[in-house]
Structure 1
Amino acid sequence: MELLELFFKSIFIDNMVFATFLGMCSYLAISKKVSTSVGMGAAVIFVLAVTVPVNWLLDQYILKAGALSWLGEEYADYDLSFLSFIMFIATIATMVQLVEIIVEKFAPALYNSLGIFLPLIAVNCAILGGSLFMQSREIPTLSQSFVYGIGSGIGWFLAILAIAAIREKIRYSQVPPALRGLGITFIITGLMAIGFMSFGGMLTGGDDASKKEETPKAQVEVEVKKEEVKESTKELATNTKEITE
């Protein structure tokens, strides 16, 4: 259940584009056609699904404080977290190079249409953001890091696919001249972000249930405190009567 909730949260609530506005450069530049958006989104899904778990392993067993304890007690005090950015970017660059080779080999038309933006996945802030969010949120297991990575990639894929489909349709619409191009695209992106935020209420049932379970306990504690206050006031009243008599 935790994996499923993490999966849907990474797609809808913590969407890379609509929640944190990461990867906007490729999101705006590639989203003119649905065909190129599908190829770019698939590449981002693959890179995130691979790099986030790999970077989780690097963080857990090499980078974080005490991660090198498996080498021996003398290495237990080492903290290599300052190398996180370098290691994460090196992993991402390796995976992006692999994706570029595969796309060029098996889909040359898509490779030509993506152009310079395919190798620029290596410096796409959404890709690095996935690994950094994984590290900052302290995702505990490798399976959860994989689910988070692939969910984040699917969320970015849905965002660019949706805006590409809309941009293909609004070519035939009478958009005001001042809003044509990026203007209307930013407005639509904002409206889509509001729509994705509405999914937040659907995945917080566990929190609400826990609050409901805690409410009766709180009421019982309040009643007990009221009884204690009444007893203390009665004792105080009897003591004052005895003193006055």
Structure 2
Amino acid sequence: MTYVGIIITYTFISNLVLSQFLGLCPFIGVSKNSESAVGMGLAVTFVMSLASLISWALEYFILVPLDIEFLRTVTFILVIATLVQLVEMAVRKYSPPLYQALGIYLPLITTNCGVLGIALISVNRNFDAAESFLAGFSAGLGFLMALLFMSGIRERLDTEKVPKYLRGAPITFISGGLMALAFMAFDTALLTNLLRSS
């Protein structure tokens, strides 16, 4: 797969949130306003990018040579947890308001199945180092994009007359479902046509 193909695939076609339904907890929890959505999206993009690259290196330089691939999931989770701790310390030091806005969701990046998912996808698809990094970065951009779209929708819904029984979580899940349906327009045929024309 080409680099352009990886970017299009993991940002639009196989968007972790809207196509594979990974990372829904922060998607629903942090998308109440655009500022926290951008902060969380950038933090997740950073963690996904580095976690994919470091996980690739651990897989091919340690786990495979030592024939201990059964430790893959545990190893990748340790990498992710370490990266999240670094991000959390940086955000707490350099942007206390963002740290307060993200609250519990920042440390929860560690258990965000999207971060682990893209690291495992990169290894299972036999991506090289650059492709793994690009897949993680693109998946992070797709996550950021989904958060921004959802935060825009939720901010708009706050000013609209929503029936009482749909306010809060119900309208949020309905909106997320409609976004997921919209993203079904991005499919492999679109990718094939884009790559053929370039």
Instruction: Please tell me the TM-score bracket, short chain as reference.
Output: over 0.9
**Partners in 2 of 1:206 and 1:167 — Cα distance?**
32
Q: Does 2:116 match 1:132?
A: no
Q: Does 2:95 match 1:103?
A: no
Residue identity matched to 2:25: C
Q: Deviations over 1:183-238 (max 9, x none)?
A: 111111111112212121321238999xxxxxxxxxxxxxxxxxxxxxxxxxxxxx
The 3 A distance-change label for structure 1 pair 207 and 41 is: closer
Residue 175 (structure 1) aligns with: 162
Out of 125, 141, 145, the residue aligned to residue 158 of structure 1 is 145
Greater helix percent: which structure? 1
* Aligned-residue offset at 1:152: 0.3
* Aligned-residue offset at 1:62: 1.5
Residue 23 (structure 1) aligns with: 23
Residue 73 (structure 2) aligns with: 85
Residue identity matched to 1:121: I
**Partners in 1 of 2:84 and 2:175 — Cα distance?**
29
Residue identity matched to 2:126: E
- 3-state DSSP of counterpart to 2:158: helix
Q: Deviations over 1:91-134 (max 9, x none)?
A: 00111011011111110110111111111111111111111111
Is this contact kept in 1: 2:5–2:195, CA < 8 A?
no
Residue identity matched to 2:2: E
Q: Does 2:177 match 1:190?
A: yes
Is this contact kept in 1: 2:45–2:140, CA < 8 A?
yes
Q: Deviations over 1:134-168 (max 9, x none)?
A: 122222x1111111010000000100111011100
The alignment's C-alpha RMSD in Å is 1.7
Residue identity matched to 2:124: S
**Partners in 2 of 1:208 and 1:101 — Cα distance?**
45
Q: TM-score with structure 1 length normalisation? A: 0.76
Of all paired residues, the percent bearing the same amino acid is 42
Is this contact kept in 2: 1:12–1:197, CA < 8 A?
no
**Partners in 2 of 1:206 and 1:182 — Cα distance?**
37
Residue 35 (structure 2) aligns with: 35
Query: Which has the higher relative contact order, 1 or 2, with Cα contacts under 8 A spaced 6 or more apart?
Result: 2
Residue identity matched to 1:27: F
**Partners in 2 of 1:188 and 1:100 — Cα distance?**
29
* Aligned-residue offset at 1:176: 1.8
Residue identity matched to 1:174: K
**Partners in 1 of 2:195 and 2:36 — Cα distance?**
40
Residue 48 (structure 2) aligns with: 48
Q: Does 2:191 match 1:203?
A: yes
**Partners in 2 of 1:187 and 1:12 — Cα distance?**
20
Report which of the two structures shows the higher radius of gyration computed on alpha carbons.
Answer: 1
**Partners in 2 of 1:22 and 1:138 — Cα distance?**
21
**Partners in 2 of 1:102 and 1:36 — Cα distance?**
15
Alignment length (residue pairs): 196
